A = this chain, B = another copy of it.
Amino acid sequence: MASPGAVLFDAYGTLFDVYSVGQAAERLFPGQGAALAVAWRDKQIEYTRLVTTSNDGAHYRPFSELTRAGLRYSARRLGLPMDDAAEQQLMDAYRTLSAFEESREVLQALKARGVVTGILSNGDPGMLDAAVRSAGLHGLLDHMLSVDGIRKYKTHPEAYQLGAVATGLPPAQIAFVSCNGWDALGATWYGFRTLWINRYQLPFEELGTQPERIGHSLRDVLAFF
């Protein structure tokens, strides 16, 4: 099979470690940092789905707002006394998530091979830009694609379609990389060539569709070329 004409990466959980906020959370709420990071992430994603499914986008809010809403819910759910300062501290930490250790070298290797690269993310542009700069990944990404313009989150097909439109390539010529199983599934359903990075040794979703490839580090994307 020919190499893809472009590689698009999911951002949150794939290039950036969403659980790295657990350290800031642990300093604020000793013993509860990891639990808060996990609950926060789950709720944030749940909210993207609720607003996308309900009323055709009428309840859309940018990812940064859903991230804050997910944090508020999770802190209440866990009974953590989060004041405004603590909330803002955690939101600031989310804007400057750690990149995974191989994120930069993999993007550099792709650029060295002349591959078109990009991010296709639920994140709104301000949030994405802050994360990319903070992680030193700017200049390594040809496309920065956010669902914010269409007001529908992944796994809505219009979200993935942003990648085809931006690159001018048919979906079958675009590689899509995600550590999130549901995202790799949705992208496969849409028609991308998908690589699921199974960073946490999880089963893949049991919905009868498999990603084209499964890897354990972002480095595995290089095998497409």
The residues of A with any CB-CB pair to B shorter than 8 Å are 46-47, 49-56, 58-59, 61, 69-70, 72-73, 76-77, 153, 155-157, 182, 185-186, 189-190, 202-203, 205-208
Contact = CB atoms under 8 A, between A and B. Distances in A.
A73 B185 contact: no
A173 B101 CA distance: 56
A161 B50 CA distance: 17
B155 A207 contact: no
A47 to B, nearest CB: 7
Contacts of A189: 54-55, 58-59
Contacts of A157: 54-56
A53 B50 contact: no
A186 B54 contact: yes
Contacts of A206: 69-70, 72-73, 76
Contacts of A202: 77
Contact of A182 (B50, B59, B182, B186): B50
A13 B224 CA distance: 45
Contacts of A69: 205-208
B203 A50 contact: no
A185 B153 CA distance: 18
B52 A207 contact: no
